[in-house]
């Protein structure tokens, strides 16, 4: 090992980490390296300049397409300044004086290209100017990696352009602050990445040059030694000439063998030190003799010295996990051992190890130690567990979506006819109360399908800017009734609470589900507390959820004084269908988790048995005025329009048709797409609206709509579906701006949506 260290010290390059320039004993190599660097880079520089001019010229097409108003001015900068500069630089590469001034010339070309792009950004009107910064990233990365600019010059130009962009952009460009911060963040990140790439490229070239120089020096020394030895041999007497020749040959062979040994040791050292697997050597008595850096990281050891003080046969963390027993068996029997075991180091690192132990032997075959190869598979096992959980959630989500779709078709019929019946009779009618109970039960069933969709995160959201305090105030009568007698309700609201963006119905569902969970935890009564506050989360905040991003949030804290939860219950509290209650389906907390995740927030649970439970919901805080609750208006009646209803479910089709006929529409009915197309061809008067289900046999609703739009321009389209509209949009079934009425819908829902689509601007 000492020989390895000596060989390594001879080849260690002395350079400045900041500028990469050679220093100390290696300082005289700086000028030869620069000359060599120019010779090696000249062809790449010419190709890079040619490619850069081509790309910079081609991108002028975007100026005409995106900003035709200012394209002449931008072209003046692009083709009148930058391209000539780059062409002159290309021609200069053939001049004798170019190697001396190559770096400032290339840096000047990159600066001219970048500065011109900053000027173009300032000249370009919004919103096109918002994405122009990407070109600056391309120019910076071009300078860092492709043009042969050394690290010092490339870094100076890259950061000068970045600072110039950020200064002029903030001062002269009218752009949202979020866009400014986003562009600056990506530009800074690109510069850091470019610096790393440029640094690595130049460092590698310098290292190769330095090693080649050192190799030449060593070869010169060996040659001089051989010549001196030959001179001495020639001076000897003729009687010793044959013996001296044999000695010279022997020394030459030995020299080559020693060099081969040094090379072999160096290769072994590099192989061991750079291996991602942990490697250690143990002597006959169990003491660690040597380790590589990867093993230090795997074992969580602070240093190699601390690790060499360990005896693997008695070290407590190894004894507790039976790893020590495996070492002992390998030392005693000489048989190899392979195993996977959990491991917690003396220094607190917890992981899972996979290892292979093999005995080492002396020339006589006696066991003198053990060689171990270790792999940290803790992160892999964790990722495999996360993958299995994600696959389970995906499968259950698909099941939930299918169940919700079938229920929604049935509930559309039940709720729709109940609404129509209630509208046909007065409150004094004997059947009014029974019909009202049917309608209430239908709404509860609709809420169940909503929970199924929410749990699978496929529920449609109607995002609005909300005041969380206002939502809580609107529920001040519901919560005491929901919690029941014996439970006191305390609400603490931050008067300066910021706004959030969420679905008000889903947010109310979160609060009610958390309240129901608290109620079930306090069968003998207790205290239920709700608190709101503005919080600023730091990246290293130990009190925040583990995966939350740094930023500004609105905190909703819900606490109870109930029985609390054990650690294993907390780990599964948000899993679908997990419940500790005798009744219930375990969807409530899963729905809470799905809503918070879908709203861009995070949730954290803090509980101990006997100490109560606190749920902390973090929702992103936004700077915007809250929406005003709209006044609900009755849907307008028909204005003589004709509606074609296409639905394969007979009951749903009849319901929709009856609702529309009562409103005065002329209604045509079809059970599938081909039948609808035949009716359109045979209909003497035009159809104003196509009301179609999405999923149907023979032809889907989207295929039917495309045919109708193509063959009968002017017909409006309204889809009805029991699946979540946003889920269909994510899968590409529906276009993002498609008009949809969600099943189960009421008569008023359908009437309002039909009127809205008919009165909308033509597509």
* DSSP state letters, 344-391: E-TTS-EEEEEEEEEEEE-TT--EEEEEEEEEE-HHHHHHHHHHHHHH
pLDDT of residue 433: 66
pLDDT at 633: 46
Give whole-number Cα distances, 660 to 635, 670, 689, 718, in Å. Answer: 11, 15, 12, 13
For the residues 503-521, what does the mean pLDDT come to? 84
Could you tell me the CA-to-CA distances from 164 to 102, 167, 300 in Å, in that order? 24, 5, 44
586-614 as b/e: b if 16+ CB within 10 A: bbbbbbbbbbbebbebbbbbbbeeeebbb
Alpha-carbon distance of 617 to 604, in angstroms, equals 7
| Residues with Cβ within 8 Å of residue 557, at least 6 apart in sequence | 529, 530, 531, 532, 533, 614, 615, 616, 617
Residue 328, pLDDT > 70, answer yes
Is a pLDDT exceeding 70 seen at residue 728?
A: no
Asked if 665 and 638 count as a contact pair (C-beta separation under 8 A), the reply is yes
Q: From CA 487, how far away is CA 518, in angstroms rounded?
A: 10
* pLDDT at residue 630 in the model: 45
Tell me the average pLDDT across 224-240. Answer: 81
State the chain's maximal CA–CA distance in angstroms: 140
Sheet bearing 278-283, strands edge to edge? 288-291, 278-283, 367-376, 350-361, 337-344
Helix 432-455 vs helix 588-598: crossing angle, to nearest 10: 60
645 has pLDDT over 90: yes
pLDDT band per the 50, 70, 90 thresholds, residue 631? very low
Top pLDDT among 195 and 427 is at: 195
Which regions of 42-187 does DSSP assign to beta strands (E)?
Answer: none
C-alpha–C-alpha distance, residues 508 and 159, integer Å: 49
> Does residue 48 register a pLDDT over 90?
no
- Domain 275-376: top CATH class: alpha beta
Collapsed DSSP state (helix, strand, coil) of residue 725: helix
- The answer, yes or no, to whether residue 157 has pLDDT greater than 60, is yes
Encode pLDDT of 176-211 as tens digits.
Answer: 777 677 777 888 888 888 888 888 888 888 888 888
Alpha carbon dihedral 746, 748, 754, 758, in 10-degree steps, equals: -170
Q: 385: pLDDT confidence band, cut at 50, 70 and 90? A: low
Q: Is the model's pLDDT at 130 over the cut of 60?
A: yes
Q: Quick one: which of 682, 649, 681, 686 has its CA closest to 666?
A: 686
Close Cβ partners of 386 (under 8 Å, ≥ 6 residues apart): none
Q: Cα separations (Å) of 699 from 294, 470, 613, 695?
A: 60, 47, 52, 8
Residue entry with tokens 């969600």: 742
Homologous superfamily of 642-759: Response regulator (3.40.50.2300)
Between CA 763 and CA 78 the distance in angstroms is 39
Tell me the residue ranges of DSSP E strands in 227-292.
278-283, 288-291
Q: Which two tokens stand for residue 211?
A: 């090693």
In this prediction, residues 502-524 reach a mean pLDDT of 84
pLDDT of 763 higher than 80: no
Average pLDDT, the chain: 80
My answer on whether omega of the bond before 127 falls inside 30° of 0, hence cis, is yes
Topology of domain 468-622, per CATH? Heat Shock Protein 90 (3.30.565)
Tokens of 487: 């439970």
Q: In what order do the strands lie in the sheet with 689-693?
A: 666-670, 642-646, 689-693, 716-721, 740-742
**How far, in Å, CA of 142 to CA of 161, rounded?**
13
Taking the CB of residue 562, how many other CB atoms lie within 10 A of it? 24
Q: Which residues does 160 contact at the CB level (< 8 Å), separation at least 6?
A: 111
For the chain, the domains span 24-213, 221-261, 275-376, 385-455, 468-622, 642-759
522-575: pLDDT as tens digits? 888 899 999 999 999 887 676 777 778 888 999 999 999 888 888 888 777 777
Residue 400's pLDDT is 61
Q: Give the contacts of 550 (CB within 8 A, at least 6 positions apart).
A: 537, 538, 539
- The two three-digit tokens of residue 728, written as one number: 């269909």
pLDDT exceeds 70 at position 5: no
Q: Would you state the pLDDT for residue 434?
A: 66
Q: For residue 390, give Cα distances in angstroms to 378, 394, 575, 578.
A: 18, 6, 11, 16
110 burial type by CB count under 10 A (0-12 exposed, 13-18 middle, 19+ buried): buried
Please give the share of the chain, as a percent, with pLDDT higher than 90: 5
For 716, the enclosing helix (H) or strand (E) is strand 716-721
> What pLDDT score was predicted for residue 218?
84
- Taken in order 515, 518, 523, 525, the sign of the CA dihedral is negative
> Would you state the pLDDT for residue 632?
41
Residue range 381-400: mean pLDDT, rounded: 65
CA neighbor of 86 nearest in space, from 43, 49, 141, 42: 49
Sign of the CA dihedral running 670, 676, 681, 685 = positive
In this structure, are residues 752 and 742 in contact, taking their beta carbons and an 8 Å threshold?
no
Structure tokens at 694: 């999405």
Identify which of 58, 102, 57, 59 has the alpha carbon closest to the alpha carbon of residue 80. 57
What pLDDT sits at residue 452? Answer: 61
List, in sequence order, every beta strand (DSSP E) within 109-191.
none
374: which 2 tokens? 């270790």
- Residues in Cβ contact with 64 at an 8 Å cutoff, skipping those fewer than 6 apart: 71
Least confident of 137-141, 172-176, 235-239, 526-530: 172-176
Cis previous bond, 744, omega within 30: yes
pLDDT at 446 over 80: no
pLDDT greater than 90 at residue 679: no
| Assigned CATH class of 385-455 | mainly alpha
Q: Tokens 């679905």: give the residue.
A: 503
Taking phi over 0 as left and psi of -120 to 50 as alpha, with beta for the rest, 463 belongs to: beta
Burial class (CB within 10 angstroms; exposed 0-12, middle 13-18, buried 19+) of 393? middle
3-state SS assignment for residue 129:
helix
């Amino acid at each position: 090992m000492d020989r390895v260290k000596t060989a390594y010290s001879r080849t260690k390059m002395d350079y400045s980490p900041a500028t990469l320039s050679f220093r100390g004993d290696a300082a005289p190599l700086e000028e030869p390296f620069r000359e060599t660097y120019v010779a090696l880079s000249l062809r790449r520089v010419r190709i890079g300049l040619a490619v850069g001019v081509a790309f910079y010229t081609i991108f002028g097409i975007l100026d005409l397409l995106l900003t035709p108003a200012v394209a002449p001015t931008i072209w003046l900068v692009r083709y009148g300044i930058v391209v000539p500069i780059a062409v002159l630089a290309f021609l200069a590469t053939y001049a004798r004086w170019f190697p001396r001034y190559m770096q400032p010339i290339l840096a000047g070309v990159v600066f001219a290209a970048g500065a011109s792009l900053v000027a173009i950004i300032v000249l370009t009107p919004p919103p096109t100017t918002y994405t122009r910064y990407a070109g600056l990233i391309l120019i910076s990365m071009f300078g860092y990696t492709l043009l042969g600019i050394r690290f010092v010059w490339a870094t100076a130009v890259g950061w000068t352009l970045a600072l110039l962009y950020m200064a002029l952009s903030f001062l002269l460009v009218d752009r949202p602050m979020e866009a400014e911060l986003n562009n600056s963040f990506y530009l800074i990140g690109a510069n850091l990445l470019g610096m790393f790439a440029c640094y690595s490229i130049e460092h590698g070239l310098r290292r190769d040059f330095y090693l080649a120089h050192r190799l030449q020096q060593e070869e010169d020394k060996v040659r001089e030694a051989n010549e001196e030895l030959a001179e001495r041999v020639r001076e000897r007497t003729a009687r010793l000439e044959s013996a001296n020749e044999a000695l010279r040959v022997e020394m030459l062979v030995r020299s080559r063998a020693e060099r081969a040994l040094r090379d072999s040791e160096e290769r072994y050292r590099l192989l061991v030190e750079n291996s991602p697997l942990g490697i250690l050597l143990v002597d006959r008595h169990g003491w660690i003799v040597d380790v590589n850096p990867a093993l230090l990281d795997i074992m969580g050891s602070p240093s190699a010295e601390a690790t060499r003080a360990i005896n693997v046969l008695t070290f407590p963390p190894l004894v507790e996990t039976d790893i020590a027993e495996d070492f002992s068996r390998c030392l005693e029997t000489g048989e190899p051992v392979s195993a996977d075991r959990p491991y917690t180091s003396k220094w607190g690192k917890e992981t899972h190890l996979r290892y292979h132990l093999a005995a080492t032997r002396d020339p006589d075959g006696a066991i003198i130690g053990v060689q171990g190869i270790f792999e940290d598979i803790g992160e892999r096992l964790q990722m495999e567990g996360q993958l299995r959980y994600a696959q389970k959630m995906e499968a259950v989500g698909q099941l939930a979506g299918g169940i919700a779709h079938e229920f929604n078709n049935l509930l559309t019929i039940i709720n729709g006819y109940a609404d129509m019946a209630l509208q046909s009779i007065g409150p004094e009618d004997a059947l009014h109360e029974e019909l009202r109970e049917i309608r209430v039960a239908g709404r509860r069933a609709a809420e169940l399908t909503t929970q199924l969709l929410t749990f699978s995160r496929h529920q449609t959201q109607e995002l609005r800017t909300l005041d969380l305090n206002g939502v809580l105030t609107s529920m001040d009568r519901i919560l005491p009734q929901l919690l029941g007698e014996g439970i006191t309700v305390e609400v603490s609201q931050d008067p300066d609470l910021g706004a959030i963006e969420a679905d008000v119905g889903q947010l109310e569902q979160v609060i009610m589900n958390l309240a129901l969970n608290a109620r079930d935890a306090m069968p003998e009564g207790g205290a239920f507390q709700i608190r709101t506050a503005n919080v600023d989360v730091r990246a290293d905040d130990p009190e925040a959820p583990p995966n939350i991003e740094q930023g500004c949030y609105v905190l909703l804290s819900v606490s109870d004084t109930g029985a609390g939860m054990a650690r294993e219950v907390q780990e599964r509290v948000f899993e679908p269908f997990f419940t500790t209650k005798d009744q219930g389906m375990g969807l409530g907390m899963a729905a809470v988790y799905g809503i918070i995740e879908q709203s861009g927030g995070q949730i954290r649970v803090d509980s101990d048995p006997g100490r109560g439970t606190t749920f902390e919901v973090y929702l992103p805080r936004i700077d915007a005025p809250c929406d005003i609750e709209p006044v609900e208006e009755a849907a307008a009646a028909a204005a003589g329009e004709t509606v074609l209803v296409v639905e394969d479910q007979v009951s749903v089709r009849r319901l929709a048709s009856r609702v529309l006929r009562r409103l005065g529409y002329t209604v045509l009915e079809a059970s599938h797409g081909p039948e609808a197309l035949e009716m359109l061809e045979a209909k003497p008067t035009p159809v104003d609206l196509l009301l179609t289900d999405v999923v149907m046999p023979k032809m889907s609703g989207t295929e039917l709509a495309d045919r109708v739009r193509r063959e009968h321009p002017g017909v409006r389209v309204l889809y009805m579906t029991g699946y979540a509209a946003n889920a269909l949009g994510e899968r590409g079934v529906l276009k993002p701006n498609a008009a949809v009425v969600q099943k189960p819908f009421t008569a008023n829902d359908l009437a309002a949506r039909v009127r809205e689509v008919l009165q909308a601007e033509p597509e």
